[in-house]
Amino acid sequence: MSANEDQEMELEALRSIYEGDESFRELSPVSFQYRIGENGDPKAFLIEISWTETYPQTPPILSMNAFFNNTISSAVKQSILAKLQEAVEANLGTAMTYTLFEYAKDNKEQFMENHNPINSATSISSIISIETPNTAPSSKKKDKKEQLSKAQKRKLADKTDHKGELPRGWNWVDVVKLSKTGSKDDE
């Protein structure tokens, strides 16, 4: 079987297995996310698996860069990815997305044993509560958030990809334009 046929079969299997599972999310036909743990669980984490063109003969791309994982230290993320990479190497050549998600679910406690949640919100709120007694509450007015119109929101969304990140090269300088304007100055 070719890589594309294997991928199509695995995609159908994943859709049928995880149908109705709120933890599973299909980002595209070759990219999937799975939340390990419940929503309120401080030890929950999100794994993203993206297939390469020649998957399953070549390993998929594993990532934990989702915003959901922002309270997990990079050392713990690297540890989880290293353990998942070992599972990838053991299953190379076979459909392994389901296997990797289940492996992560089964070993969640072991993966997160060194996890201490990084909670920037509590440190900021404690700073604010310490500073509040110094200022008079009546003199402080609520600052209004700047509201964006629908058109502004749409324009902002069009500039970013599905993860909210700007596309690669969005701020690169156009070399062709520069070389044309540079030659005019030289003449």
Q: What is the pLDDT of residues 96-126, one digit of tens each?
A: 888 888 888 888 888 777 777 665 444 444 4
Is the pLDDT at 9 greater than 80? The verdict is yes
- Given this model, what pLDDT does residue 57 score? 87
**Average pLDDT of the segment spanning 164-182:** 67
Q: What is the pLDDT of residues 79-90, one digit of tens each?
A: 888 888 888 888
- Given this model, what pLDDT does residue 130 score? 44
Burial label, 24 (beta-carbon count in 10 A; 0-12, 13-18, 19+): middle
Tell me how crowded residue 11 is: count the other CB atoms within 10 A of its CB.
17
- Given this model, what pLDDT does residue 131 score? 43
**DSSP secondary structure letter of residue 113:** T
Domain at 3-112, CATH class:
alpha beta
Write the CA distances from 71 to 8, 34, 37, 46, integer angstroms: 35, 17, 14, 11
Q: What percent of the chain has pLDDT over 70?
A: 71
- Given this model, what pLDDT does residue 164 score? 67
Q: How far is the C-alpha of 60 from the C-alpha of 81, rounded, in Å?
A: 12
For residue 48, what are its two tokens?
A: 């993203």
Q: What is the pLDDT of residues 115-159, one digit of tens each?
A: 776 654 444 444 344 444 444 444 455 566 678 788 887 777 777
Q: Are 78 and 61 in contact, with CB atoms under 8 Å apart?
A: no
User: How many residues are present in the chain?
Assistant: 187
pTM, full prediction: 0.57
Ordered by start, the domain boundaries in the chain are 3-112
- Given this model, what pLDDT does residue 127 score? 38
Q: How far is the C-alpha of 38 from the C-alpha of 58, rounded, in Å?
A: 31
72 vs 180, residue with greater confidence? 72
Is the pLDDT at 28 greater than 60? The verdict is yes
